Structure 1
């Protein structure tokens, strides 16, 4: 299940892209399939071991171009171990809401992308997230859980303050919002609940089969109850020196 619109991002062969807070690697895998040089970055070494195995399996099965590369790196999003402007693109999906010092993480995101490069950031949307918090403390009040609820306008401002320019925003995963409301209502860990199991089966069916009815329903509902908000940005190109302008 992809949150970002990779056709809009346009990453492909030769692009160096980091997926910060990659988790189990869903966006990293798509970048790898599209031929990018991928860094899957996370603080969870155990999950990155699984991502590394999957990278190897994808290569063995011929799912990636020969020119693509992928690696896993364990580290802290507040101190990325890469030089300034190292990446053509940065993907950050559902990570910032977990970090108390999100401004420091955003500064690192802006630092490691090159001038002219592309950034995509997603977080849980304000309204669906507010409902989850109202229904269940267990949903967010746990170690490593969500520490804030973003308004899209506030996140756009924080990203802009770091020197990034917003180019587009959209919402995603409307069908997942009621699923999480249901889980919060019955108990986040009550996975054997009949209604939870039935809804989860529908979501799996939708992801595997992508039937027209549910795809149209989600597109219609995304602007209203989309579970995630996705913000696309670019880092402005470095200003040309007077001599460069004259030469051009």
Structure 2
């Protein structure tokens, strides 16, 4: 399930791409399939083990174009172990809302991004996130949870203040917001609640089958209640 629209992020064979806060690696895998060299970067060593295992499985299955590489690196987003201008593009998907010093993290992104390079950054959308916070204190107070709710204007302003040229934006995962509202209402960790389980099954079915009815529904819902907002920006050449 991708949040970034790769028709707006020009990843090409031979590019070097940083997936910052890669988590399970969903965007890193797509970058690798497109023939680029990807660095999956995260603090969570267990997540990185899973990403490395998937890189190996993709290689064994012949899913990686010739010359493309996937590597994992553990570290701190506020002090990344990369030289200046190391990457053609950077993806930061659902990570800034976890970082207390988000402006410092953005400055680090700008530092490692090459002049002319593109950034795709995603955060939870304001309205769906605000509803989650109102329904459940546990949702946003758990260790490692979300510590802020961005407005689109705030996110764009912080990117501009770091010297980036902000481009288009869009919303994603409109079908996922109701699931999280249900989870917040019945208990974030109550995975056995019948309503939460049924909606989860619907989402899995949608991801696996991608039927036309849910694709159309999501396109209609995204501008209204899309769970994530994605902003694209460029570092001036």
TM-score range, shorter chain: over 0.9
Following the alignment from structure 1 to structure 2, what is the Cα–Cα distance between the partners of residues 24 and 173? Answer: 17
Rounded to whole Å, the distance in 1 between the matches of 2:137 and 2:55 is 36
CA distance in 2 between counterparts of 1:73 and 1:104 reads 19
How much has 1:64 moved relative to structure 2?
1.1
The answer as to 2:178 corresponding to 1:175 is no
Question: Counterpart in 2 of 1:111?
Answer: 111
Task: Give the aligned CA root-mean-square deviation in angstroms.
Answer: 0.5
Aligned pair 1:69/2:69, yes or no? yes
Q: How does 1:15-30 map to 2 (within 5 A)?
A: 15-30=15-30
Count of aligned positions: 237
> Which residue of structure 1 lines up, in the alignment, with residue 121 of structure 2?
121
How far off its partner does 1:12 sit?
1.9
CA distance in 1, matches of 2:51, 2:34: 17
Q: Specify every segment of 5 or more residues in structure 2 that has no aligned partner in the other structure, as ranges.
A: none
TM-score by length of 2: 0.99
Aligned-pair CA distance for 1:38: 0.3
Q: Which 4+ stretches in 1 moved above 6 angstroms?
A: none
Shift of 1:185: 0.2
1:7 paired residue number: 7
- Give the corresponding residue for 1:57: 57
Shift of 1:78: 0.1
Deviation at residue 61 of structure 1 after TM alignment: 0.1
Unmatched 5+ residue regions in structure 1? 238-248
* Structure-to-structure mapping, 1:1-248, within 5 angstroms: 1-237=1-237
TM-score, structure 1 normalization: 0.95
Q: Deviations over 1:168-227 (max 9, x none)?
A: 100000000000000000000111111101000000000001000100110011000000
Partner of 1:243: none
Larger radius of gyration: 1
Counterpart of 1:245 in structure 2 is none
SS at match of 2:192: coil
